[in-house]
Structure 1
Amino acid sequence: MNQQIKLGIGITATILGSIAIAHHQQIVQSIATNLSGSPAVAQAQPLKIVFPTRSSAGTTDLPTKAKAVTDFLSKELQQPVEAVFGDDTAAVEALRADRADVAFLSSRPALKAKQLANASFYLAEVRANYSGGHTYKSIFVVPKNSPLKSGKSEATLSQLRGKKIVFTSPTSGSGFIFPVAELVQMKLVPDRDRLTGFFGQVAYGGGYDKALQSVLRGQSDVAAVSEYTLGAPYITPAEASTLRVLYSISGVPAHGISIDDDVPVAKRKQIVAAMLKLNQPANNKLLRDLYNSTQLVEVNHDKHLKPMKDALARAGMQP
């Protein structure tokens, strides 16, 4: 074959090969860009955090407040962070089904998250109106002029025999589980299913404010609620001045943050460290705006949630 022809074929093959490689690289680059907007971010999967709506103050305009937190965490973790919304049950299911990596949870759902998703509780919320910092009290509240005498003994709660009680809800820790567990421990009731044998009437308010209003309006003799509900936004200062605490139970575990065990250990440590930076003065408003918490503290999963686990067992309830 003519030497010039051979040379031409060789040059053509080289050019075609270079074009094919370049075209392949362009395709890969295009796929990465379409998936994430930029090649660098394509390799970083978004971290999904569940922010549950709570009946307490601090959940107004939750999406906006949650976005402020996820934007902060995204910068700290150098990866996309997305907010997911739902109640505690949906949050636990999201962890179980790997549709979320992190969730803000109350103590009973946190136990369920461990059971179903092997997600552990790493951080607890601190509030200024929690008497125990990252624990608070469950209280029985009566009108200030009630003939029932306040105290800390079995005799105090024995006075409730035949009375009309309103619990916050059948799933509330401080508004049902801890009060019932205390009554069972004192052998005043057998379990949560046989309350009517002791009380004259059992009702559920459906929220702290409604439970307290039931007492304020004379519909119930006593309400079971959290210690921090004796004031705004639940009731007015004037209303609070007409009530008093009959009996209190300490050690209710505060809400906090659970992380799925599918998240690598190193990444879990980074998430905890980033979350703790919300305690710093420059960032603290983000945390306060979210759920009225002033601080996050590291806790041991088993130790922090043990009081709830024990209360459930005494009340004859499952996590």
Structure 2
Amino acid sequence: MSVRRKSLLSVGAALATSIGLGLSTLGGMQATIANSAPNQQAPRLFAQQKLQNLTIVFPTRSDSTDLQTKANAVAAFLSKELGIPVTAQIGDDTAAVEALRANRADVAFLSSRPALKAEQLANARLYLAEVRENYSGKYTYDSVFVVPSNSSLTTKNSAKATLEQLRGKKIAFTSPTSGSGFIFPVSELVRQGFVPNRDRLDGFFGQVSYGGNYSKALQAVLRGQAEVATVSEYALYAPYITAEEKSKLRVLYKISGVPAHGIAIDDDVSPADREKIINALLKLNQPANNQLLRNLYNSTELVRVNHNRHLAPVRDALKRVGIEP
């Protein structure tokens, strides 16, 4: 994409609103890992020229701690593999998308909905997806409706019969921007004919609340403030809840195929350099380097994915609930 086209796109608050996330800027210490070659940190001024340095944005996540240090270690590894300086920046998903749009970053780890926004605003695309041991589908996972283990609600022989039991109940969604904690569950409710869109949830549920994150949504159920919560399947494990808390919960209904987080690369990176970056990142799968990857977001492996095919489920879900991708 040309710099001129990117400059015509809105920034700041408009970007944050369109993604549905709070506006922020890249924060924390920035660490540039330089090699011995001189003048390697001059910014790239023209698209598709030979890559001289690399900036990667690592978004903060609720299950990541000391992320800057861990990102720095990955940057150092990639710098050695690529032979160029690599800078690790920390920010939220909104900041990551804006950095790609404004040519301040070349690569970003992104969840599925921000990845769609990065495609729209920066023509960046996902090339790799993260694998976790607690993902049901390797690089896809389940969105789950969770109830107390002693709930009278039971899993029936059809989705419609199971979800019908939620009529009039108190539900705690994760947040209005969460894929597995809101978009996919509401999409399923629309698909089954219980609600017409995301704005009519009060017509089906007795009470609708938002936990703000996985842990708080589950705590609402554990404390009796809600009768059901919607989260990712991996939120039923530490660090989100304890094993004792998990024993007090069970999955009522699950929706498979939620796209895993992935790694987007900006279109200003040439195909040859893009392939070098992908191959360097894939070396994090090797036993000698794998702990660097695991330290970031508890991922065990990176796999190549097709951008359109990987994100198709979230595109469909957004359309069904009435949200612009």
Total equivalences in the alignment: 283
**In structure 2, how many angstroms separate the alpha carbons of the residues matched to 1:46 and 1:52?**
20
More helix by percentage: 1
Of all paired residues, the percent bearing the same amino acid is: 71
Query: Out of 22, 29, 50, which is 2:57 matched to?
Result: 50
Shift of 1:231: 2.0
Runs of 4+ deviating beyond 4 Å: none
- Structure 1 residue runs without a partner (length 5+): 1-35
Shift of 1:47: 0.5
Matching of residue 245 in structure 1 with residue 251 in structure 2:
yes
What SS class does the counterpart of residue 282 from structure 1 fall into?
coil
Matching of residue 118 in structure 1 with residue 123 in structure 2:
yes
Counterpart contact for 2:41–2:53, Cα < 8 Å = no
Shift of 1:149: 1.0
The residue number in structure 2 matching 1:297 is: 303
| Larger deviation, residues 163-172 vs 235-244 | 235-244
What SS class does the counterpart of residue 195 from structure 1 fall into?
helix
Counterpart contact for 2:131–2:303, Cα < 8 Å = yes
| Larger deviation, residues 294-303 vs 81-90 | 81-90
Query: Out of 126, 129, 132, which is 2:134 matched to?
Result: 129
Relative to structure 1, is the Cα distance of residues 62 and 188 closer, same or farther in structure 2, using a 3 angstrom cutoff? same
**In structure 1, how many angstroms separate the alpha carbons of the residues matched to 2:75 and 2:238?**
28
Matching of residue 195 in structure 1 with residue 194 in structure 2:
no
The residue number in structure 2 matching 1:269 is: 275
User: Scaled by the length of structure 1, what TM-score is found?
Assistant: 0.86
The residue number in structure 2 matching 1:85 is: 90
RMSD: 1.5
Relative to structure 1, is the Cα distance of residues 182 and 42 closer, same or farther in structure 2, using a 3 angstrom cutoff? closer
Amino acid at match of 1:293: S
Shift of 1:39: 3.1
The residue number in structure 2 matching 1:209 is: 215
**In structure 1, how many angstroms separate the alpha carbons of the residues matched to 2:154 and 2:195?**
20
- Measured against aligned partners, the alpha-carbon deviations of 1:272-294 in whole angstroms (never above 9, x if no partner) come to 00000000000000000011000
What SS class does the counterpart of residue 257 from structure 2 fall into?
strand
Shift of 1:239: 1.1
**In structure 1, how many angstroms separate the alpha carbons of the residues matched to 2:153 and 2:76?**
51
Amino acid at match of 1:97: A
Query: Out of 228, 235, 249, which is 1:222 matched to?
Result: 228
- Measured against aligned partners, the alpha-carbon deviations of 1:258-310 in whole angstroms (never above 9, x if no partner) come to 00000011000000000000000000000000110000000000000000100
What SS class does the counterpart of residue 198 from structure 2 fall into?
coil
Matching of residue 61 in structure 1 with residue 66 in structure 2:
yes
Relative to structure 1, is the Cα distance of residues 229 and 84 closer, same or farther in structure 2, using a 3 angstrom cutoff? same
The residue number in structure 2 matching 1:22 is: none
The residue number in structure 2 matching 1:100 is: 105
What SS class does the counterpart of residue 88 from structure 2 fall into?
strand
Shift of 1:37: 7.7
What SS class does the counterpart of residue 48 from structure 1 fall into?
strand
- Structure 2 residue runs without a partner (length 5+): 1-34, 43-50
The residue number in structure 1 matching 2:294 is: 288
The residue number in structure 1 matching 2:38 is: 39
The residue number in structure 2 matching 1:159 is: 165
User: Scaled by the length of structure 2, what TM-score is found?
Assistant: 0.85
**In structure 1, how many angstroms separate the alpha carbons of the residues matched to 2:104 and 2:234?**
33
